Structure 1
Amino acid sequence: MQPLDQCPPAQLAAVRGVLTDIDDTLTEAGAIAPEALTALQRLAAAGIPVIAITGRPAGWSEPFALAWPVHGIVAENGAVLLRRDGERLSVEFSQDEATRRDNFARLQRCAAAVLAEVPGSSLARDSSGRLTDIAIDHSEFAHLDAMQIEAVCAVMRTHGLQATVSSIHINGWIGAHSKWTAAQWAVPRLLGLDFDPADWLFVGDSSNDQLMFEHLPLSVGVANIARFLPQLQHRPRYLTRGERGSGFAELAQRLLAARTVG
């Protein structure tokens, strides 16, 4: 990893668009940082598309898909694509309705098992808006230590779920979708472009961003990723000086400056 200042301007100038995490990358305590919102507006004005990819639920993401200057949001770690369609919201799923219905029952059984088997565990407060996954709170309103987090992941895997740890939640779902498949799905659907990882930059902050750090040649971590670095097998190539929204704004400024120089 290197400081973002060391990223060659020519490499930044060649970026076609930005893929970004949301929690603790754009936001703090669930609200978008003012400097991050300004950065999104500046990127949109410069014609640089931004697609957000998050573990947050579809219900939580809906107002932001309508209000933020992004091309769309893929919620629930690659399961639900939300985008503006005029004044309305368009919603697509990566799984068909029958699959989602069958999976939902399994997910609820797994959630009940986690709560029964891991003392201190609790569902994320945004669980009512989840359509294709479950989430256990470890840092948003509750606190779980490393052993409890691993115990939750173990129960999820026993029930056949994928399990990842974000900066605030432990997410579990059924299926092969991920943030990486979300990028491959969203870019063609939202922009009508073939997805070439070399054209895109990803910015994130936690262990559930590892697939993106692994697969995208140009990846950036905001400074608060430091708490997760010991757990990361795949790390971002560059780090911002600022944390959360300030780090994202720092990245946006460098992207825009590189284009101006180019």
Structure 2
Amino acid sequence: MSRHLSLSPLSEVSSTSFSKIRLIATDMDGTLTRRGKFTPALLQALEDLAAADIKVLIVTGRSAGWVSGLSSLMPVAGAMAENGGLYFPPGNHKPIVLTPIPDLVQHRQHLATTFENLQTKFPQIQESADNRFRITDWTFDVAGLREDELQILNNLCQQMGWGFTYSNVQCHIKPQGQDKAMGLLQVLRKYLPDYSPEQIVTVGDSPNDESLFDRRYFPVSVGVANVLEYADKLQHQPAYITAAAEGDGFCELSSYILQSFQIPN
């Protein structure tokens, strides 16, 4: 039996399950975007959530440089970059580094060496264009890599003392223990302490979002429909799944939360 059959469709969930939600921690690529772009419907959903005082925190694998500019232009309550490596508070362009890095220059050199070692076994892999804007991790394009090759890359990184994950866009060489869940828990503890677990919903679509689906930390999690592509590969799966894919799925979730949420008179 396929593992994804255990996922509960959002449409079949009692609205009371989402009536307490006050914070949405969401992935970006493939979760907020549709075919790589933001849609007018998505931007309207973010505005509607903000008007209802439901905060949205972006939790992405994108680079610090990329997130710094984009998050300041969107109606969101801050953003995390590099899969839990950094946090950009709202209205602040200076990131807070969540992963301790004593020597940044040496750290980048070690990441570059690790990537070069991977290239000796996978000469086709290409450094991602945004890698020069990164602080904590190193990325290369995921396109063209098979599942078995991704597992080999993961094993090689582990042997060299690094963590590894991938999304629908990139592969990430990262410090061990750095993931979206650990970064989000740190941000919640230090900067957003007023939110309890039942007031938070985590949202994603791919393997680098898997830690956000860990019900030990986040009991309410949602995968947009395209997560089914990876469902059999995820140890932790979302509690619920939308009918629509990508950004349309996030809009579906947004509407569901807003319908469940009663704004005081």
Q: Same fold (TM over 0.5)?
A: yes
- Whole-Å separation in 1 of the counterparts to 2:172 and 2:201: 24
2:256 corresponds in structure 1 to 254
**What is the CA distance between 1:31 and its match in structure 2?**
2.8
Q: Is 1:26–1:32's contact at 8 Å kept on the other side of the alignment?
A: yes
Which deviates more from structure 2 when the two are superposed, residues 225-234 or residues 88-97? 88-97
- Alignment correspondent of 1:110: 114
Q: Deviations over 1:177-232 (max 9, x none)?
A: 321122112234544x2453222001100112121111311110001111101211
Does the 8 A contact of 1:65 with 1:83 survive in 2?
A: no
| Shift in Å, 1:29 | 4.7
C-alpha distance in 2, partners of 1:71/1:35? 19
* Corresponding letter in the other structure for 2:26: T
How far apart, CA to CA, are the structure 1 residues paired with 2:37 and 2:191? 25
43, 51, 58: which one pairs with 1:45? 51
* Greater mean alpha carbon deviation, residues 31-40 or residues 232-241: 31-40
Does the 8 Å contact 1:134/1:173 carry over to 2?
A: yes
Alpha-carbon distance in structure 2 between the residues aligned to 1:99 and 1:181: 21
Residue 94 of structure 2 aligns to a residue in which SS? strand
1:34 positional shift:
2.8
Aligned residue among 239, 242, 258 for 1:240: 242
Partner of 2:96: 92
Number of the residue aligned with 2:89: 83
Relative to 1, partners in 2 of residues 1:7 and 1:101: Cα closer, same or farther, differing over 3 Å? farther
2:223 alignment partner in structure 1: 221
Q: Supply the distance in 1 between the matched residues of 2:201 and 2:154 (Cα, whole angstroms).
A: 29
Secondary structure of 1:135's aligned partner: strand
2:19 and 2:260 in contact (8 A); partners too: yes
1:164 alignment counterpart = 165
**Structure 1 CA distance for aligned equivalents of residues 10 and 185 of structure 2:** 25
> Is the 2:202–2:213 contact (alpha carbons within 8 Å) kept by the matching residues of 1?
yes
Quote the sequence identity (%): 29
Deviations 1:160-182 (A, max 9, x none): 11111212211111142321122
Normalized per residue, which structure has more strand? 1
Alpha-carbon shift at residue 104 of structure 1 (Å): 1.8
**Against the structure 1 CA distance between its residues 97 and 206, is the aligned structure 2 distance closer, same or farther, given a 3 Å change threshold?**
closer
Runs of 5+ in structure 1 lacking a partner?
A: none
1:177 aligns with 2:178: yes
TM-score by length of 1: 0.91
Matches within 5 A, 1:124-163: 124-139=128-143, 143-163=144-164
- 1:96 and 1:225 map into 2 onto residues whose CA distance is 31
Q: In structure 2, what is the equivalent of residue 206 of structure 1?
A: 206
Could you tell me which residue of structure 2 aligns to residue 59 of structure 1? 65
User: What is the RMSD computed on CA atoms of the aligned residues?
Assistant: 1.9
Q: CA separation of 1:81/1:244 partners in 2, compared to 1, >3 Å: closer, same or farther?
A: same
Q: Which amino acid aligns with 2:251?
A: A
TM-superposition CA deviations, 1:145-169 (whole Å, max 9, x none): 2222223222222221111121221
Aligned length: 256
Distance 2:128 2:171 in 1: 9
Cα distance between partner residues in 1 of 2:20 and 2:195: 15
Q: Which amino acid aligns with 1:224?
A: N
Residues 221 and 239, structure 2, Cα contact 8 Å, conserved in 1 = yes
| One-letter amino acid of the structure 1 residue matched with residue 17 of structure 2 | Q
TM-score (norm 2): 0.90
Partner amino acid for 2:56? V
Change (3 A) 1:211 1:95: closer
